[in-house]
Amino acid sequence: MSIVTLKDALNRAKKDKYGIGAFNISSFTFLETVIEAAEAKRSPVIVQIAEGHIADMPRFDSFCKAVVNMASSASIPVVVHLDHGQTLPIVMICIQNGFSSIMMDASSYPYEENIKKTKEIVDICHSVGISVEGELGTIGGAEANIVREEDAFTNPDEALDFVNKTQIDALAISIGNVHGNYKGEPKLDFERLENISKATNLPLVLHGGSGIYDDDFRKAVTLGICKINFYTGNCKSAGKAVMDFVKEDPEKNGTDLMKLIKGIRKNVYETVCHNIDVFGSSNKAW
């Protein structure tokens, strides 16, 4: 297969009612493992780099080229996506390096400014056949408790207006989901999700996938979620491999880097495979 656009992948997911995992890749180890797992499951997959991680990638251009090269040679459909893009220079670097999808996150701005900034990126990307994800509502962070204030959640009527004015291809929404670790029980507002889906008729995106219960993922997919962002859970799986490695024999294994990397790959592979099964995208590659 080859690199595909987010619009193509999510429209298929919406039609057949499954979700596609969007796994952040902050290293070659994560990149290789995510694609390997998706190939084993015969699942489409989204590999994404968050703009917030780019500061720790001194050779970002080189990494982009490696991502695109590996995605191009995969045996399953792969979307190469910029996650939480916020600045035009980074967006342009990703476009120039062959990304097939861009997220413009202007959700922290006032509503009209969010529309303006998102539409600017839509006009640029659509002119060269690249999909765009926008965000509306406030998604909590790892440092916050689960957001429950209604004015922070995505408003269904506002969502329709936002979609119509920006012409985005996918919409990231706030329904009680948070980035990073949940403090307390994750409680998604499924009624709000269903109303947004009916109002916009657009593929919807759930950020903060790590920590959400499997049954809640399954229900969210039936109500319109087509893209599920997942990163913290993979980091935890990798971290467990590190801890197991150190506990086994620090003096001996501290010099065996490849054994450590194999442990990380194994744990992350199993986590990605599990989520692909939960999201319902196994054997959905085309």
Looking at residue 153, what DSSP letter applies?
Answer: S
d(CA 87, CA 165): 20
What 3-state class would DSSP assign to 160? helix
- For residue 233, the tally of other CB atoms under 10 A from its CB is 19
d(CA 169, CA 135): 11
Burial class (CB in 10 A: 0-12, 13-18, 19+), 255: exposed
Q: Is 83 noted as a catalytic residue in this protein?
A: yes
Among 207, 102, 122, CA closest to 163: 122
d(CA 40, CA 42): 6
16, 56, 61, 83: the catalytic one is 83
Q: Would you name the residues annotated as active-site residues? A: 83
